[in-house]
Amino acid sequence: MATRADEFIRETPPIDTEAPLPNLGHERIPGERFHSRAWMEKEWTHMWRRVWNMACRESDMPEAGDTFVYELGKESFVFVRGEDGQLRGFYNVCQHRGNQLALGGEGCGHQQAFQCAYHGWRWNLDGTLDHIPDVETYPQFADGVPRDELGMEPVQVDTWGGWVWFKMDPGGPDLYEFLDPVPDHLAVYEIEKWDIVDYKTFEWPCNWKAACDAFNESYHFQALHPQMMQWSNGIADIDLMGIHSRMVNQYSTVDPRYPDQDTPGPELATMMGMLGIDPETYEGKPKDVRLVLQQMKRSVEDKTYLPYKNLRDDQLSDTYHYTIFPNVSWNVTSESINGFRYRPHPTDPNLCYYDLIIMRHCAPDEPKPEYTHRVIPVDQLPRSYLDVLDMDMHPIISKVLEQDGSNLGAVQRGLSSDGFKGMVLCDQELRVRQFHLVLEEYVNGDR
Ligand code: FES
Ligand SMILES: [Fe+2]
C-alpha cells in the first residue's frame, strides 16, 4: 500500500539563485515582542495553540502503553500508543481537580492506564474515562457519568519524518498542509529512519525568538564566529517557502571575504583532517575542498546505505538549514542533522529552552543509539558545550554553539531597552523578517 512517504517527490528542489529576493518591506521589528508578557500571552493563544508542534520521536513509543511527556510553555502533554497501535496525545491533566496525570516530567514512560495519583480517577490509554472512586458520592452524576466531558482532553496528533507532531486547537490545516513543502524537500534524506544520538536542553537567558533569529541568518558569522570564515561561506542562498524557509551554508570552503584565499587556514585544515583530506598534500584552492568532499561521497554512492544517489552534489557537502515555523531549525547534511528547537518559558519571556537535538542516519544493522536527555539550567550553563554533550562533537562545531549561546543574554537585555528602536534588517536577514511577519499574522489573528 502506498504511504504518504511514497508520494513525496524524490529530489530536493535547488534554490533558484536567479530569482530576485521578495520585497517584504523594511520596517523595523519592535523589541516589545521579546520581553512583553502581554505579547507572550497573545502568542500562546493565537500562535502556539494554532500551529503544529514537534514533540517526540515515534520510535520512542513502540509498544502499547508507551508514553512520552512533552512540555511547551505553560502546558504539559502526554503522548501514548494505544492498544490499537494508534498514537494519541492529550493535555497532561486530570479532569477532577487538575493534577498532572503523568508525573515525573518530560520523557519516555509506560502506563497500563492513566491513574491520577491524587484521588485515583482512572482513564484508559485511549483517553476514555474508566473509573471514579466512590462515584455514588457525586450527586451530579446521579443520572450517569458524563463520560465524554470527563475524557482526557485530546490534541490533534500526526507523524512526519519519524516525529510526532501535535496541534492544540481543533480544525485548521492538517500536518502535511502545514509543513508543505518541507516533507517534499526532505523526503530524499529518509529522516524517518534516523535516530537521535544526543539531546540536551539549555535554558538560555533570552526570549525563544531571539534564539530562533540567531540561527536564521548567516550575516553574523563574520563578527560572532570569525573563525567560521576559514571553513564556511557566510553568504548563504535564501529561499522563503510560505511560512517556512531555508538557506544553504557551504561548508568545507572559505568565505569569499576571508583575506587568504590560497592557503587553508588552521580551522579549515582541521576540518580537512576530519574529512580524511591531508591539508599538507592538498593542491587545490581552499574554496574547493567541498568539491573534493562531494567527489569522495559520490565515489561510494553504490556501496553505502546512505542515499547519496538521490542527492545533488551540493547536498553532499553543504548544510541545508530549514526553519519549520515556528520553532524548529534543522541543519541538514547528507548523514546527520544538528537540530534546534526553541521553546518558550512557562512564565518568563526573558528565558527560553534551547533544545539541541542531534540525529544521525545510522546503518540499518546498527543498534538503536541510546541518548540521555537533560535540562541545563541557566545558572549552570557550561563554558564548553562539550562538557554536557554525551556525543563526540568536534570542538570546531561546539565553539560555534557556545558563541551563539553566550551572546544571547546581552541581546535580550538590549531588545528590552528603552533606547532600542527596533531591529533594522538587511537582505541577508530576510528569513528573520519573514519569520516575524508570519508571527505577526498569527498574533494579529490574520492567519
Ligand atoms: S485530582 Fe486527579 S483524581 Fe483528584
Ligand atoms: Fe551563530
- 307 shares a domain with 366: yes
Confidence band, pLDDT 50/70/90 cuts, at residue 3: very low
Does residue 121 line the site of ligand 1, with CB under 6 A?
yes
The three cell numbers locating residue 369: 543509539
Which band of pLDDT confidence, cut at 50, 70 and 90, is reported for residue 169? very high
Question: What's the total number of domains in the chain?
Answer: 2
pLDDT at residue 11, as a whole number? 85
Q: What is the pLDDT of residues 153-166, one digit of tens each?
A: 999 999 999 999 99
- Residue 182, helix vs strand vs coil: helix
Is residue 387 domain-resident? yes
Q: Which of 90, 91, 99 to mutate to test the pocket of ligand 1 (most atoms within 8 A of CB)?
A: 99
Based on the domain organization, do 57 and 86 belong to the same domain?
yes
Q: What pLDDT shows up at residue 1?
A: 38
Residue bearing the CA closest to ligand 1, atom 1: 97
Task: Read off the pLDDT of residues 350-374 as tens digits, 9 standing for 90 and up.
Answer: 999 999 999 999 999 999 999 999 9
- Of all residues in the chain, what percent carry a pLDDT higher than 70? 98
pLDDT of residue 361: 97
How many angstroms separate the CA atoms of 39 and 421, rounded? 17
Considering the domain architecture, whether residues 339 and 230 belong to the same structural domain is answered as yes
Check pocket membership of 94 for ligand 1, CB cut-off 6 A.
Answer: yes
- The CA-CA-CA angle for residues 195, 204, 403, to 5°, reads 80
SS3 content of the chain, % helix, strand, coil (to 5): 30, 25, 45
The tens digit of pLDDT for each residue in 239-249 reads: 999 999 999 99
In a domain, 135, yes or no: yes
Domain membership flag for residue 386? yes
- Does some domain include residue 186? no
311-321 average pLDDT score: 97
Summarize pLDDT for 380-392 with one digit per residue, the tens.
999 899 999 999 8
Return the CATH number at 222: 3.90.380.10
Q: Give a yes or no: residue 407 inside a domain.
A: yes
Number of H helices, E strands in the chain: 12, 18
Mean pLDDT in residue range 221-249: 97
What CATH number is given to the structural domain containing 166? Answer: 2.102.10.10
Co-location of 326 and 296 in the same domain? yes
For 80-136, write each residue's pLDDT tens digit: 999 999 999 999 999 999 999 999 999 999 999 999 999 999 999 999 999 999 999
Do 399 and 364 share a structural domain? yes
Q: Do 321 and 405 have their domain in common?
A: yes
Both 126 and 218 in a single domain?
A: no
* Cell numbers placing 241: 517557502
Residues 83 and 227 in one domain: no
Same domain, 165 and 203: no
Please check the confidence at residue 2 and state whether its pLDDT lies above 90. no
Q: Give which of 260, 262, 297 is closest to 277, Cα–Cα.
A: 297
Which band of pLDDT confidence, cut at 50, 70 and 90, is reported for residue 8? low
Examine the domain organization and report whether 237 and 147 are in the same domain.
Answer: no
Euclidean distance between CA atoms 236 and 22, whole angstroms: 16
> What phi and psi, each to the nearest 5 degrees, are found at residue 247?
-145, 160
> Domain range for residue 392?
24-50+191-447
Q: Give residue 4's pLDDT.
A: 56
**Long-range CB contacts for residues 313-316, cutoff 8 Å, separation at least 24:** 314/14, 314/248, 314/250, 315/12
Between CA 428 and CA 439, with CA 434 as vertex, the angle to 5 degrees is 145
Together in a domain, 94 and 238: no
Ligand 1 center–CA 100 separation, angstroms: 8
> Do 152 and 222 sit in the same domain of this protein?
no
141 Cβ inside 6 Å of ligand 1: no
- Does residue 179 lie in a domain region? no
Q: pTM for the complete prediction? A: 0.96
